[in-house]
Amino acid sequence: MQYLLLCCFDETRWAQMPDAQKDQIMQEYDGFIQSIVKSGHFRASTKLQPSSMATTVREQHSKLITTDGPFAETKEQLGGYHLIECQALDEALAIAGRIPTLRVGGSIEVRPVVPASQG
């Protein structure tokens, strides 16, 4: 069973953090990724550019509308994701709980992926 870990955090807060603290978190992040590669859970990981780079497309009255910015104004923004393979939800939650940005106010949304056979 695959789970997508969506890593959200407050970009403003991140931008204001001292470099030393950012480096520390990123270093811990490397350790985290290595550990899930080693344990066999890792499938994919991606770090996203800030949400100010985002463009949203939606349809209104059968016309495509393209707008600047993320699709919803929220305090937290999506910063990256990890795709992991686990036996069950609890295992995914335990791995999500080890993501370093949690300690600087981030949150992780854990979403089960639709199995290929049910696609």
Smallest distance, Å, CB 86 to another protein?
8
Position among 63, 90, 116, 119 found at the interface with another protein (CB under 8 A):
90
Smallest distance, Å, CB 102 to another protein?
16
Whose CA is closest to 42, among 95, 88, 93, 80? 95
**Can you tell me the distance from the alpha carbon of 32 to that of 14, in angstroms, rounded to the nearest whole number?**
19
Q: Which is nearer to another protein, 2 or 24 (CB)?
A: 2
Q: Which is nearer to another protein, 104 or 110 (CB)?
A: 110
**Can you tell me the distance from the alpha carbon of 83 to that of 76, in angstroms, rounded to the nearest whole number?**
20
Position among 1, 17, 53, 65 found at the interface with another protein (CB under 8 A):
1
- Residues forming beta bridges with residue 83, ordered by sequence position: 4, 44
- Residues forming beta bridges with residue 112, ordered by sequence position: 3
Residue 35 binds another protein, judged by CB under 8 A: no
The C-alpha angle with vertex 80 and arms to 30 and 83, in degrees rounded to 5, equals 80
Smallest distance, Å, CB 112 to another protein?
4
> Which residues contribute to the site for another protein (CB under 8 A)?
1, 87-90, 93-94, 110, 112, 117
